[in-house]
Amino acid sequence: MGLLDFLFKSKKKLNTEAAQVRQSSTSQTIVSFSGDFMEIKSIGFSGLFNKSKSGEWIIGWRDSVEQHRQGNRERVHGRYVLYNAIQKRITLQGKLERPNSGSVANNGCFSIEDSHFGGGLSGTFYVFTPAGKELIKKRLNANIHNSGISNEGRFAICETLFNPKNVDSHQLIAFSIEQGNELFSVPTKTELASSYEFIENTAHFVVNIKNIGKFRYDSQGSFIDAEKYDAAQLNCNQYIKVLGAAEKMLNEPSLSQGQAKAALAASIRARSLIKDNDHQSWKAVALKIQGMAHENLGNINEALSAYDDALKINPKIGIKRKADALRKKLKRTRL
């Protein structure tokens, strides 16, 4: 069955859990926009929205109905609305327990998250056709951080937050909408993404990390841009990220001399980024990592000096044994 047949000719029953209603009227609907919000007074709807790249389709959602509170609750479903801006009419209305973060493709297919009633760590990710047919449904035992759909409606993605039970925790999950299946579910290799992009001809999924850059996963979930991501973190202007990337690099079993030198340069630069009124413990961390890099490069005197300076700031930083071992090593070499 072709994609167009799949999307528009299927006679299967529409999803009932989402309580969807198609708009039968051909009359035009007036919609107003203000910042990130849309309002359709004729149906008593107001909420956040996203537009398709073409501008034709708009998906709006509200985590509760009017006169009821949003957020964690046990009842009162939220609403979502699919609007065609060219035809100026509502194409679809629906209800979910707590709808959030919708995205819509140029063909009108849209994704939306359901945060569920109650305070548990769970969520469901959906993709629907503009007629309301369910194409993707993924229930997760973790809260959903973010999600998206590709411009042509071929792929979708969602990302989960931390779950202390490690069930669906910090997962990046990609879907083929054409095939109606999950392509991969892998632990996230980066910090949480602010948005997603899709390279549809190669089935690559791009995570956009704020102030860091854009990085690709392939259709099997392999993190193609791992080296690019490490380099971007080392060279950014956020010292916490710089230090985290440098320490991670120094702990790699296959650490090279070039990587140790890069980590050393990054730790020294990170110290220059730490302002005097920032927490002093970060200066201790920078000195610790600087010492680790020197130690890996065989610079024993420099490593010990950095460790001692770190211990002066924070005696509990966890490198006293390292410093004592280096001190003994230096004594032996001087005998």
**DSSP string for 206-241:** EEEETTTEEEEE-TT--BTTHHHHHHHHHTSS-HHH
Q: What is the CA radius of gyration of the chain?
A: 26
Instruction: Check residue 22 and give its pLDDT.
Output: 60
Instruction: Check residue 219 and give its pLDDT.
Output: 97
Parallel, antiparallel, or unpaired: how do β-strands 32-34 and 45-51 relate? Answer: unpaired
Q: Amino acid identity, residue 5?
A: D
Mean pLDDT of residues grouped by 10 in the chain (335 residues)?
44 50 66 96 95 98 72 86 96 96 98 94 97 98 97 98 94 97 97 97 97 97 96 94 95 94 96 81 95 96 97 95 94 78
Instruction: Check residue 11 and give its pLDDT.
Output: 40
Instruction: Check residue 6 and give its pLDDT.
Output: 43
Instruction: Check residue 1 and give its pLDDT.
Output: 45
Instruction: Check residue 29 and give its pLDDT.
Output: 87
Give all domains of the chain, ordered by start, each with its CATH number: 3-224 (2.40.128.630), 233-334 (1.25.40)
Asked if residues 34 and 88 have their Cβ atoms less than 8 Å apart, the reply is no
Asked if residues 70 and 63 have their Cβ atoms less than 8 Å apart, the reply is yes
Asked if residues 259 and 227 have their Cβ atoms less than 8 Å apart, the reply is no
Q: How far is CA 16 from the centre of its chain?
A: 29
Angle at alpha carbon of residue 246, lines to 242 and 249, rounded to 5°: 140
Report residue 150: phi and psi, to 5°.
-75, 160
d(CA 144, CA 126): 12
Query: What residues are paired with 139 via a beta bridge?
Result: 124
Angstrom CA distances, 60 to 44, 80, 147, 187, 262, stand at 13, 5, 15, 30, 46
Q: Please choose, from the candidates 76, 81, 108, 85, the residue with its C-alpha nearest in 3D space to the C-alpha of residue 93.
A: 81
Asked if residues 154 and 145 have their Cβ atoms less than 8 Å apart, the reply is no
d(CA 136, CA 189): 24
Q: What does pTM read for this prediction?
A: 0.84
